[in-house]
Amino acid sequence: MNCKKCFPTFLVLVLIYSVASFSCTGKKSEVSIQSMLKEMVDREEQTRFPVHNFRLKQQSSYNRASVNPADSVGWFTNHDFNSNDKDHNFIRIEEKDNQKEWVLMEHDKPGAIVRTWMPFLSPDKPNTDIQIKIYLDGAEEPTLQGNMLGLFNGDGLIPYPFAHKSLRSAVSFFPIPYAKSCKITTTGRPFFYQFTFREYEEGTAVKTFSTEEFQQVKDLTVQVGKELLNPRNAHSGEQVTMTSSIPQNGTMSLDLPSGNAAVHTLSLKLADYENDEVMRSTIIKMNADGKETIWCPIGDFFGSGIGLNPYEGWHNTVSEEGTLTSRWVMPYQTSGSISIENLGDSPIEVSLSAEVEDYRWDERSMYFHAAWHGQYPVSTRPFSDWNYVSIEGRGVYVGDALTVMNPVEKWWGEGDEKIWVDGEDFPSIFGTGTEDYYAYSWGGRSTDFYEHPFHAQPRSHVYNKLNRKTSKERSTLGFSTETRTRALDGMPFGSSLKLDMEVWSWTDCEMGYGVGTMWYADASSKSNRKPDPQEALNVPEVPENLDR
């Protein structure tokens, strides 16, 4: 790749960026349904700090007794829903036209809803007569309204795959921007809920969602939906490949083309997956401009967990025949390399390929990072917060893949995510349960495989894509893998980010936790996650009464 020859292309890209980001008056372009749909599938733009800076926030039904981490009782109170009139895990109740409305979200700055999650009110009844209403910019009448589940499950106004049914939940990623304010209400007492939204800086030009614009961008909506469901990169960059046998404690490295460039597709395949633990003992590493930006077991990096568990997402694909593919764009300015390290006790055969294209580096550009944290055993009593990662510097958090080993049948995932940004006093994101964070619900019953462009459960108990659940058993014994990657719901941070997940099981026991985390950040950034070969080899033992 000769970057000097690419100078005309560089000028064209600068012109395109200028037109896309700024209007003819010299101001930044307006945030709108159209701009956000395009952003959702713009992989290269994801490598850059947002041109319209925002803070990602969430309003949810988390238990209001959780006020201070120093309160070891209130902080871990698990009643994150509303089951009767005594519960007040919402903002307030209003009355309009002799009809009560429960206020679930209220935001009085420019913003955009980028993710909604609503569970079934009963595990086996995917219906309700409760209506949800979304009021924008102080309007007296709702801009959007419909069935509380139907509006967000792909059957109503918002189409699949933006809105869809996961496991016992209705989830939507369709953007709903607003210039001044947003209020969300329901006509009946809410159960669990999460509304994740962007809070833009004051003065950001936002075009408020309207049904007229929604219809005008219908063709674009269809186009973006097709892209999400067919995530293969359409690029044709330079492909570099290597196939090698790596001995025990050995490493193979693939040098990338020099110059301003970025990996657009990274694929890896092992010759043998018979030993499930090879997904933890095989490590992927990346060096970008002299800094190690990736150190992660391949199972956690690609979202497969322990063993080969196929699924397809927008950012990652694990195929049934064993090819592991990442579509995160990974830029560098002068040099880069991808390495595979074998921590196992036997040689492994590895095929590795990277598709590399020219990249325009600017002041908003960031490096892709991936790290890993594992621990076994993890005690479930007393209740605690388990840290995924803590990062210092400027960046955007974009995804994670969690694998847990549960030694008992009872449900393990009541714990809430708590995400702190830039030293804030209370988390920007305070969730309602681990399975809610990964966009499904009724975890003790939802031990089946599911996939979506932005989240999946590649494995739970003994089930995966090749072995689907057919019974109503409730066992969550053994390994479960959950993955979530972010597009519009990426989390920018200016100086720091800390992501904790509660360890909250219904049983006093010892579990195994392992998580791969992904983010973009400046070269000067740093995290608390360092290479940990010893823990990577500490694979939790599956209980003897469970056949893997």
pLDDT of residue 543: 81
Question: What is the per-residue pLDDT for 542?
Answer: 86
Q: Are 40 and 229 in contact (CB under 8 A)?
A: no
For 288-321, b/e burial (b = at least 16 CB within 10 A) is: beeeebbbbbbbbbbbbbbbbbbbbbbbbbbeee
Strand partners, 297: 283
pLDDT in tens, 291-317: 999 999 999 999 999 999 999 999 999
Tokens 């917060």, residue? 385
**Angle value at C-alpha 450, between 468 and 476, nearest 5 degrees:** 65
Q: For every one of its 548 residues, what pLDDT tens digit does the chain have, with 9 covering 90 and above?
A: 444 334 343 333 333 444 444 443 334 789 999 999 999 999 999 999 999 999 999 999 999 999 999 999 999 999 999 999 999 999 999 998 889 999 999 999 999 999 999 999 999 889 999 999 999 999 999 999 999 999 999 999 999 999 999 999 999 999 999 999 999 999 999 999 999 999 999 999 999 999 999 999 999 999 999 999 999 876 678 999 999 999 999 999 999 999 999 999 999 999 999 999 999 999 999 999 999 999 999 999 999 999 999 999 999 999 999 999 999 999 999 999 999 999 999 999 999 999 999 999 999 999 999 999 999 999 999 999 999 999 999 999 999 999 999 999 999 999 999 999 999 999 999 999 999 999 999 999 999 999 999 999 999 999 999 999 999 999 999 999 999 999 999 999 999 999 999 999 999 999 999 999 999 999 999 999 999 999 999 999 888 756 54
Coil/strand/helix, residue 536: helix
At residue 235, the pLDDT reads: 64
pLDDT of residue 546: 62
Residue type, 270: L
The residue whose two tokens read 């997956």 is 273
Of 300, 392, 286, 390, give the one whose Cα is nearest residue 330: 286
Sequence-ordered strand ranges (E) for 220-260: 238-246, 251-255
CA–CA dist 342, 468 (Å, integer): 31
DSSP string covering 302-368: HT--SS---EE-SSEEE-TTSEEEE---EEESS-EEEEEEE-SSS-EEEEEEEEEEE----TTB-EE
Task: Give the model's pLDDT for residue 300.
Answer: 98
Q: Quote the pLDDT of residue 96.
A: 86
What sign has the CA pseudo-torsion 381, 168, 63, 422? positive
- The predicted-structure confidence for 394-407, as pLDDT tens digits, reads as follows 999 999 999 999 99
pLDDT given at position 477: 95
Q: What are the phi and psi torsion angles at 534 (to 5°)?
A: -60, -45
pTM of the model: 0.94
Question: How are strands ordered across the β-sheet holding 144-147?
Answer: 92-96, 99-107, 182-186, 131-136, 144-147
Q: Find out whether 58 and 113 touch, Cβ atoms under 8 Å.
A: no
